């Protein structure tokens, strides 16, 4: 299914106006409490299916299977190109294809993006990663971030942006930046991949950012790995690597203001994809069933079900390929078969 993209002219004055409006709207964050289940249903971007599988595609060779974008497994609905790089301008990001991938030209890469979109997929540019140094901490850097992201969307045809900043995030200015991007492209796909510690409370900066952009946020795929033990929504401590860890921590987001359509489960595609926290695909599917259907739960059983839960994410499509695509073959059909 072909989805037409409208390429809009971008300029600093329009982004500045959008940022001004975003700054005013940011006042809505003041006094944001920990009340549960009070938010309205989110407006779903057309580009993302009701139940979606997200995968990170590596723009580098770290020992996993090297893929061109065209080789990404068909089960993935949202493909996050990892990563955009910091530039010499505060807040701004750029993107450079790694020669190790074997692309003959950028036009070939852009053609792969279009082909994925023609197949009904969304392709977004991911910002951050473990070693990412992008910092958006004032209005100027927020404007630079928004300007550069929309510029990459125009240049490459990306459908949106993924926020994977693992070294700190300022909710006030990141929210302004993302609202400015949305003002320029109302159908933008915005995904996030916070660490578990970033989503333990609605007062955390990542959680505040997600709630501030809830009217257009696509999905938060929290990383249920490299974590250690964390508190669930029932106040009990759960260790990573189990159904209970996933369901009890997802409950915090589901009851903390996000719509179920904005919550996804992020896990490694293989034991080599992360330092710790790998679980078998069957555990991911059991956690999804527990949250969506109330079946296959462990000791933690949510008070209600969330049939609208968006789905699952993995790091990465490359590590998945290295493992015979076992993750996407098992989790993909399961996600697409959710109620």
Q: Which two tokens stand for residue 304?
A: 């209600």
Report residue 221: phi and psi, to 5°.
-105, 80
Are 265 and 225 in contact, with CB atoms under 8 Å apart? Answer: no
Residue burial 209-242, b: 16+ Cβ < 10 Å; e: rest: bbbbbbebbbbbbbbbbbbeebebbeeeebebbb
Distances (CA, A) of 255 to 15, 125, 232, 234: 33, 29, 11, 11
Residue among 104, 105, 122 nearest 113 (CA): 122
Q: Which two tokens stand for residue 311?
A: 């789905």
Specify whether 106 is catalytic: no
- Rounded Cα distance, 266 and 53, in Å: 10
- Rounded Cα distance, 317 and 53, in Å: 11
- Rounded Cα distance, 224 and 246, in Å: 7
Burial (CB < 10 A; 0-12, 13-18, 19+), residue 299, is: exposed
Residue among 166, 255, 280, 301 flagged as catalytic: 166
Residues with active-site annotation: 166
């Amino acid at each position: 299914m072909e989805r037409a993209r409208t390429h809009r002219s971008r300029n600093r004055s329009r982004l500045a106006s959008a940022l001004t409006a975003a700054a005013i709207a940011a006042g809505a964050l003041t006094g944001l409490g920990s009340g549960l289940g009070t938010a309205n249903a989110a407006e779903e971007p057309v580009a993302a299916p009701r139940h979606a599988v997200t995968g990170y595609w590596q723009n580098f060779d770290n020992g996993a299977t090297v893929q061109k974008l065209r080789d990404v497994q068909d089960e993935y609905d949202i493909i996050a190109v990892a990563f955009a790089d910091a530039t010499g301008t505060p807040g701004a990001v750029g993107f450079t294809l790694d020669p190790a991938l074997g692309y003959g030209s950028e036009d070939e890469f852009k053609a792969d993006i279009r082909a994925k979109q023609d197949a009904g997929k969304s392709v977004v540019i991911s910002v951050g990663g473990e070693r990412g140094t992008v910092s958006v901490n004032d209005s100027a850097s927020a404007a630079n971030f928004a300007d550069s992201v929309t510029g990459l969307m125009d240049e490459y045809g990306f459908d949106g942006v993924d926020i994977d900043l693992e070294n700190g995030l300022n909710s006030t200015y990141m929210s302004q930046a993302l609202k400015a991007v949305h003002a320029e492209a109302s159908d933008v796909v915005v995904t996030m991949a916070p660490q578990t510690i970033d989503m333990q409370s609605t007062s955390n900066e990542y959680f505040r950012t997600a709630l501030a952009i809830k009217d257009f946020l696509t999905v938060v795929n929290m990383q249920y790995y490299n974590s250690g033990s964390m508190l669930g929504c029932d106040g009990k401590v759960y260790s990573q690597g189990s159904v209970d860890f996933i369901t009890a921590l997802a409950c915090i987001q589901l009851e903390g203001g996000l719509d179920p359509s904005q919550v996804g489960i992020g896990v490694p595609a293989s034991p080599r994809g992360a330092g710790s926290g790998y679980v078998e695909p069957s555990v991911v599917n059991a956690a999804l069933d527990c949250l969506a259907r109330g079946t296959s739960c462990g000791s933690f059983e949510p008070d209600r079900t969330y049939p609208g839960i968006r789905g699952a994410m993995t790091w990465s499509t490359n590590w998945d390929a290295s493992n015979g695509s076992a993750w996407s073959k098992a989790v993909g059909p399961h996600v697409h078969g959710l109620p």
